[in-house]
Structure 1
Amino acid sequence: MSETRLTSSYARGASEPRLLNKTIGQQLSETAARFGARDALISRHQGLRLSYQQLLEQSQQLASALLRAGIAKGDRVGIWSHNNVEWVLLQLATAHVGIILVNINPAYRTSELAYALNKVQCKALFVMERFKTSDYLGMVRALAPELETQGSDALQIEALPDLRLVVWIDVAGQGQEQPGMQRFSRFIASGDAADPQVAQIGATLTPYDPINIQFTSGTTGFPKGATLTHRNIVNNGYFIGEAMRLTEEDRLCIPVPLYHCFGMVLGNMACMTHGAAMVYPNDGFDALTVLETVQAERCTGLHGVPTMFIAELDHPRFAEFDLSSLRTGIMAGSPCPIEVMKRVVSQMHLSQITIAYGMTETSPVSCQSSTDTPLDKRVSTVGKVHPHLEVKIVSAETGETVAPGQSGELCTRGYSVMHGYWGDEAKTREAIDADGWMHTGDLATMDAEGYVNIVGRIKDMVIRGGENIYPREIEEFLYTHPQVQDVQVVGVPDNRFGEELCAWVIVKAGQSLDAEALRSYCKGRVAHYKVPRYIEFVKAFPMTVTGKIQKFKIREAMIESLKLDVSQTA
C-alpha cells in the first residue's frame, strides 16, 4: 500500500517509539547498568579509555566535587575547551546534579568570553590550557589579573563578577601550577563517586529542567544563549541514534566539536542512549587522525560536516587506510553537496550514512534520512521529520503553508524546541511564535512524500534582475566539474541588477582551473543569469569551528576587494 501523498508542505513525525521521560543522569545510569563493561569513551589523542561503568563513576565523582566547591543546582558552569574526556565528564557531572553547562566556543576571544560568562552569570569556568596558537589560560588571565594574587577558592574578579572558580584541564598532574586556578586532576579527586548528595539532588530533577546553554553563532551583534533541557537533549540523541540504527556494537568516530550540538548531541547522546562507544580522534579536526582512528578502532560510524569529508576523501594518504568497518554516520552542519555524498557512499563504505538537518534551538535535529532511505533521496534531501515533531514550509509573505514543491521558511514544533534564549524573552518570542513554531530562517521545500530539501538561508538568497537565485543550486552544479573540490556562492551588490553572483572555488590538489574555463563549463548547462560574474580561486573558506561556512565574510571580502559602493544599492 503506497503512502498518502501530501497536499501541503506540512508533516508530522511518527508517534512511536515513545518519548523518553528521563534526565541525562538517569539515562547514563541505565546505560551503565546494561553495558557497564563495554567501551563508552575512547580519546585517542589522550590515550584514555573508559567503560560505561567508569564513565558513570567518574562523572558522579566530578559532580560531588562541584557540590563541595559550592556550585549548586541551577548554577551555571562554563566549559571552554576542544574535545577531550574532561569535556564529557563535565557534561555528565553537571547533569547529574542540575547544574547548567554553558558551552563556550573555542574560537571566542576575551570580549566574547566575558560576554558569555556574564550573560548567564557563570560561577565556574573549566578551561583547556592551549590549542595551537590559542593560549586560553593567557586570555583568562588578561580578563582576570586578580587571579595572580587571589586564592583559587575565593575569587573576586572585577570583569567577571559572578565567577568564583577556574579549573584548568591539566595532563594527569603535569605542568606548572596556575595562580588562582585549580587543576582538573586535583579538583575531581576532591569528590566522591558515592557522595549521597549526588543521588539526593538527582532525585529532585525533572526532564523539563534546563541543563545546557549553547550560544548561537550570529553574523551580527552578540550571540544568543539557546537554553536546552534534559528532555530536549536525551530524546533528540535517542532518535538520532535510532535513525542510524545504533546498537551497543557500534563505535562512532566523533571529529566534530563537542561545544556544538553536533558533537554533544548527535555524537555523545546518540551513543549514550544506545550503549555505543564514543571515539575522539583528536582535540581538533585533522583528516589524517580521523582516517587512522577509523582503521585502528574499527569504527562503524563517522560524523562530519561536508568540508571534513572532503578533506578526508582528498587526503594524499586516503587509499592507505582500511575503512571497511564503516557503515553509518551523519553528514550535517551545512548543506551537503550531492557529489560529495556519492563519493562518501562509494569510497568510504558509508552505505548507510544519513543526512541530518536542524539548528541549536531545536536540540538540534528536526529532519533526518534513515539508513533505508533510497539513495537518490538520501543524497538530495535531508530526509523526513523526526518522531514526535512537526515541520511545515510557510510563505514569507503570507505565513501560510505552501504547496508541495514550493519554497518557503521551514518551521519546527515539538519536544525539541528550546526552553528559550537565556535572559531574553523578547528574542525568544521573535523566534518561537504563539503556536509554538520555531522559525528557522532557512528556505526549504517539501515534496509530496514528505522529504525536505534545504534550499539555503533566507538571508543568503540572491536577487538579480528580479530573479530569485538560490546559491546552493549553483554550488551543486559547480561541484560536478571534475577539477572543483569545493565551492561557495554568494551575492555581491550591483547597481544595475541588484546583485551579482560570486563563486569562491577550491581546486582539487594537483589540478588547474581558470575562471574562463569554469564559465565555459556553465554555458548551455545553466541559465545565463546563474553563471557567476566573479570567480575567485582560494585555498580555504572562512568558517566557524564547527565547519559552517561564513558566507557573510566571503561577501564582505569581495565588497572590499572590488571596492563596491554598498550605499548605492537597494
Structure 2
Amino acid sequence: MTSVDGGSCAAVSPRLRGGATGFLVVSAVDSPLADNLDCPRLDRSYLSRPARQPLQGETIGSFLDRTVAQHGECEALVSRHQGTRYTYRALDASVRLLARGLLALGLQKGDRVALWSANTAEWLITQYAAARSGGILVSLNPAYRLREVEYALNLAGVTILIAAPRFRDTDHVALLQELAPELRTCAPGNLAAARLPSLKHIVYTTDAVQAGAWRWSEVMELGKTIPDETLRREEQGIELDDPVSLQFTSGTTGKPKGAVLSHHSLVNNGFFIGERLQYTPADRVCVPVPLFHCFGMVDANLSAMTHGSAIVLPSETFDPLASLQTIEAERCTSLYGVPTMFIAELEHPRFDEFNYDSLRTGLTGGAPVPIELMRRITGRFKMREFTVAYGMTEMSGVSFQSEPDDHLDVRCHTVGAMLPHMECKIVDSGTCRIVPRGTPGEVCMRGYMVMRGYWNDPEATNAAIDEAGWMHTGDVGILRDDGYAQIVGRIKDMIIRGGENISPREIEEFLYTHPAVSQVSVIGIPDPTYGEEVCAWVSLKEGATVTEEEIRQFCKGQIATYKIPRVIRFTREFPMTASGKI
C-alpha cells in the first residue's frame, strides 16, 4: 500500500465507557398536543431525550478543522482496494485542494455537485470538499442508468458532476455521452447539453482522457491557482443551517424525491451516533455499506470524523470476503452492514480463516435482526457492543439506536433508545392523536435532524412535515414503557386479510427462527375472499431442505392461524437494493 503522510493512533486509549442516560417523559401538559387527554399523562407515547452534551454548532468544514487540529496524525481513511491511506492532515490537504478546484470551476455557494461513484477515497474527499466550498452534494446511486441519472441531474439542477468512469458492467462514460452527445466536441467546462441544461462540468475520478470532461488531476491542479485564503473566506460565509446534502429517497411512492439536509443536521447526527458507539481515535470502522446512502455518508463517515476515528473501505462494492480480510488486516474495531451483508459474511466458506479479535462494536439497520443472527454477530464476530439503529434519509440517518450494553433480546426486538436532542410521538394515523404507550401507531419525529424539505417539492414537503415540525415517517411503531421503540412495519406495507391488520415484519421475524431459513420476505397478494393473503418468499441456508408444508407446520400453534402464510415460495437469492436491502 502507498501511504500518504502515514501514521496511526491505535495506541490512543479509549475513553471510559459511559452508561445510558435516562429518558425524560413529558406530561400531557408539556406535550405539543396537550388537548389530547384520552389516556393518562405518563402513559402517552411521547418522548424527548435529554443530553449530557449540547448540540454541536459547527459546519462540516469547521468540525473537520477541529479534528485535524486534535488528531491530525491519526489515520483518517484507508481505501484497501485502492492501496491508499491518509492521515487526517493529509486527507484535509486533498480536500482543500479539491475544494479550491471546484471554486476554480466557478462553483458558487448553493450550487449542486453530483457524485456518481462507488466507495473510493475520492468519494470522501469530494464529500468534504463540496461542504468546504459551499456546494450541495448530490449523492447518486452508482447503479443508476440513463433515465435515472438524467432525472436526478435535472431535478437537482447539477452544475458539476464528479463520476467514476464505470460501475460494474455500466460504462458511465458511454452513458453520459449518449445523454450528452455534445461532450464529444466540446472542451472541458464548456458543456451545453440539450438534455442536461444546467450541467457545465464533468470530472472523472481517474486520469484517463475523456472527451469534454476534466480529469481528477486537472481539477486538483486548477485548485493550486486559487489561494487557500480565498477558500477560507468562502467557508466563513457558510452557516450551520445551510444545505449541504441532497439525498434521493428510494422512490417507493413514485419518482425519487431529493431530501435536503443541512450541515447542522448531518454533523450532529454523525456526532451522536459516534457517541452511542463510544468511538475514539483508536477506532477503525470497516465500511462495506454504500457511501451514497446515509448509512455510509453520515452513520459511518461523519461519526468517525467527529471522533478522530478511521474509515476503512474494503472494496468498491460489497464483497464479503474482502470485508473479512480487511477486518483482520486493518485490525478494525467496528463493522457496518445491513442484515443480508452479515449473513453473507458469516456464511462465507472462508470465514474461519480470519481473526476478528479486534472487533468491538458495529451498526446495522434497514431490516429486523433475527435473534439467531444477532447471536452469531456478537459471538462469531465477537462484537459484544454491536448496535441496531432506526432512521430514514429525511431524518439525516439515525433516530433510535441501541446502547452497546443492551441485552441481546432488546437489540433484536427493539431499535434501541432515541438519540439526544430529539422528540418522538406515536400517533393514530387517522386522527394524528397520540396513542397510549404500547399501542401501535405512526412514528413521528421532531428535532435538529429533520430535513429542510424535498428539493423543489413543497407539496411533498408539506405532506411529510406538519405545521408543528413533526416528520411523519409512515412507519408503524410502538413506544415501550422503558423508552425503547419497536418498528413493526410500514403503514402501506400492512397486509389486510379479512379485516385483520397483519405486520409482514412480525411474520418474517418468526420465520427467521426456523433452522433452515436464511432470508425471508413476506408480502400481501390479492385474494378474492379475504382481500389479501399472506405470501412468504424464503431463501434456505446452504445445504438445507424444507417443504412448504413443513414451514406451515412450524408456524402452527406459534402464530395466529390467519398469519400463517397461505402461499410459500422458495428462491435461491433475493433482488437487493444498492444498500443491501431486499
TM range, normalised to the smaller chain?
Answer: over 0.9
Residue 533 of structure 1 deviates from its aligned partner by 1.1
Measure the CA separation in 2 of the matches of 1:357 and 1:220.
20
Residue 379 of structure 1 deviates from its aligned partner by 2.0
Q: 8 Å contact 1:294–1:323 — kept in the other structure?
A: yes
Does the alignment pair 1:533 with 2:566? yes
% of aligned pairs identical?
A: 50
Q: Aligned letter for 2:96?
A: Q
Measure the CA separation in 2 of the matches of 1:114 and 1:287.
32
Residue 64 of structure 1, aligned match among 100, 103, 123: 100
Measure the CA separation in 2 of the matches of 1:2 and 1:138.
55
Does the alignment pair 1:210 with 2:243? yes
Q: What's the counterpart of residue 566 of structure 1?
A: none
Q: 8 Å contact 1:493–1:499 — kept in the other structure?
A: yes
TM-score (norm 1): 0.94
Q: What's the counterpart of residue 344 of structure 1?
A: 377
SS class of match (1:427): helix
Residue 163 of structure 1, aligned match among 184, 194, 199: 199
Measure the CA separation in 2 of the matches of 1:196 and 1:84.
28
Residue 372 of structure 1 deviates from its aligned partner by 2.3
Q: What's the counterpart of residue 178 of structure 1?
A: 210
Does the alignment pair 1:245 with 2:278? yes
Does the alignment pair 1:189 with 2:212? no
Measure the CA separation in 2 of the matches of 1:397 and 1:64.
51
Q: Aligned letter for 1:27?
A: F
State how 1:73-88 maps to structure 2 within 5 Å. 73-88=109-124
Report Cα offsets for 1:463-501 as digits up to 9, x if no partner: 112211111111111111111111110111101011111
Residue 69 of structure 1 deviates from its aligned partner by 1.0
Does the alignment pair 1:502 with 2:538? no
Measure the CA separation in 2 of the matches of 1:438 and 1:449.
23
Q: Aligned letter for 2:266?
A: I
Pairs aligned (count): 545
> 188-197 or 262-271: which moved more?
188-197
SS class of match (1:439): strand
Residue 443 of structure 1, aligned match among 447, 456, 476: 476
SS class of match (1:125): strand
Residue 24 of structure 1, aligned match among 35, 60, 85: 60
Q: What's the counterpart of residue 564 of structure 1?
A: none
Residue 194 of structure 1 deviates from its aligned partner by 5.3
Measure the CA separation in 1 of the matches of 2:173 and 2:254.
25
Q: What's the counterpart of residue 557 of structure 1?
A: none
> 394-403 or 429-438: which moved more?
394-403
Q: What's the counterpart of residue 88 of structure 2?
A: 52
State how 1:278-297 maps to structure 2 within 5 Å. 278-297=311-330
Does the alignment pair 1:133 with 2:165? no
Q: What's the counterpart of residue 106 of structure 1?
A: 142
Measure the CA separation in 2 of the matches of 1:346 and 1:107.
34
Q: What's the counterpart of residue 356 of structure 1?
A: 389
Measure the CA separation in 1 of the matches of 2:516 and 2:466.
45
Measure the CA separation in 2 of the matches of 1:274 and 1:337.
30
> 303-312 or 392-401: which moved more?
392-401
Residue 376 of structure 1 deviates from its aligned partner by 2.2
Gaps of 5+ in 1: 550-570
Q: 8 Å contact 1:4–1:449 — kept in the other structure?
A: no
Residue 416 of structure 1 deviates from its aligned partner by 0.2
State how 1:376-415 maps to structure 2 within 5 Å. 376-415=409-448
Measure the CA separation in 2 of the matches of 1:457 and 1:314.
29
Q: What's the counterpart of residue 326 of structure 1?
A: 359
Residue 548 of structure 2, aligned match among 502, 510, 515: 515
Residue 337 of structure 1 deviates from its aligned partner by 2.6
SS class of match (2:551): helix
Q: What's the counterpart of residue 273 of structure 1?
A: 306
With over 3 angstroms needed to count, the CA separation of the structure-2 counterparts of 1:199 and 1:3, relative to structure 1, is closer
SS class of match (1:412): strand
SS class of match (1:472): helix
Does the alignment pair 1:198 with 2:231? yes
Residue 375 of structure 1 deviates from its aligned partner by 2.6
TM-score (norm 2): 0.92
Residue 548 of structure 1 deviates from its aligned partner by 2.2
Measure the CA separation in 2 of the matches of 1:474 and 1:520.
14
Q: What's the counterpart of residue 154 of structure 2?
A: 118
Does the alignment pair 1:263 with 2:263? no
Q: What's the counterpart of residue 522 of structure 2?
A: 489
Measure the CA separation in 1 of the matches of 2:238 and 2:22.
44
Report Cα offsets for 1:264-310 as digits up to 9, x if no partner: 00000000000000000001001110100001100000010010011
SS class of match (1:433): coil
Measure the CA separation in 1 of the matches of 2:129 and 2:227.
13
> 143-152 or 521-530: which moved more?
521-530
Measure the CA separation in 2 of the matches of 1:136 and 1:236.
32
Q: 8 Å contact 1:262–1:333 — kept in the other structure?
A: no
Measure the CA separation in 2 of the matches of 1:279 and 1:439.
35
Measure the CA separation in 1 of the matches of 2:243 and 2:405.
34
Measure the CA separation in 2 of the matches of 1:397 and 1:99.
40
With over 3 angstroms needed to count, the CA separation of the structure-2 counterparts of 1:86 and 1:402, relative to structure 1, is same
SS class of match (2:413): coil
Measure the CA separation in 2 of the matches of 1:389 and 1:423.
26
Residue 375 of structure 1, aligned match among 402, 405, 408: 408
Measure the CA separation in 2 of the matches of 1:320 and 1:23.
43
Measure the CA separation in 2 of the matches of 1:462 and 1:342.
30
Q: What's the counterpart of residue 554 of structure 1?
A: none
Residue 120 of structure 1 deviates from its aligned partner by 1.4
Report Cα offsets for 1:301-346 as digits up to 9, x if no partner: 0010010011111111111111111111101122333332222111
Q: What's the counterpart of residue 458 of structure 2?
A: 425
SS class of match (1:190): helix
Measure the CA separation in 2 of the matches of 1:330 and 1:185.
35
Report Cα offsets for 1:76-110 as digits up to 9, x if no partner: 11001111011111100011121111011122211
With over 3 angstroms needed to count, the CA separation of the structure-2 counterparts of 1:313 and 1:161, relative to structure 1, is same
Residue 365 of structure 1 deviates from its aligned partner by 1.0
Q: Aligned letter for 2:79?
A: S
SS class of match (2:90): helix
Q: 8 Å contact 1:9–1:450 — kept in the other structure?
A: no
Q: Aligned letter for 1:419?
A: R
Measure the CA separation in 1 of the matches of 2:495 and 2:164.
41
Which 4+ runs in 1 deviate beyond 3 A? 1-6
Q: Aligned letter for 1:32?
A: V
Residue 3 of structure 1 deviates from its aligned partner by 7.5
Q: Aligned letter for 1:190?
A: L
Q: What's the counterpart of residue 32 of structure 2?
A: none
Report Cα offsets for 1:197-256 as digits up to 9, x if no partner: 110100111100001100101124211100000001000000000000000000000111
- Please report the RMSD computed on the Cα atoms of aligned residues, expressed in angstroms: 1.4
SS class of match (1:404): coil
Residue 263 of structure 1 deviates from its aligned partner by 0.1
Measure the CA separation in 1 of the matches of 2:263 and 2:378.
34
Q: Aligned letter for 1:95?
A: A
Measure the CA separation in 2 of the matches of 1:311 and 1:364.
24
Residue 95 of structure 1, aligned match among 99, 108, 131: 131
Q: Aligned letter for 1:178?
A: Q
Measure the CA separation in 2 of the matches of 1:508 and 1:345.
20
> 218-227 or 161-170: which moved more?
218-227
Residue 425 of structure 1 deviates from its aligned partner by 1.1
Residue 374 of structure 1 deviates from its aligned partner by 2.8
Q: 8 Å contact 1:61–1:194 — kept in the other structure?
A: no
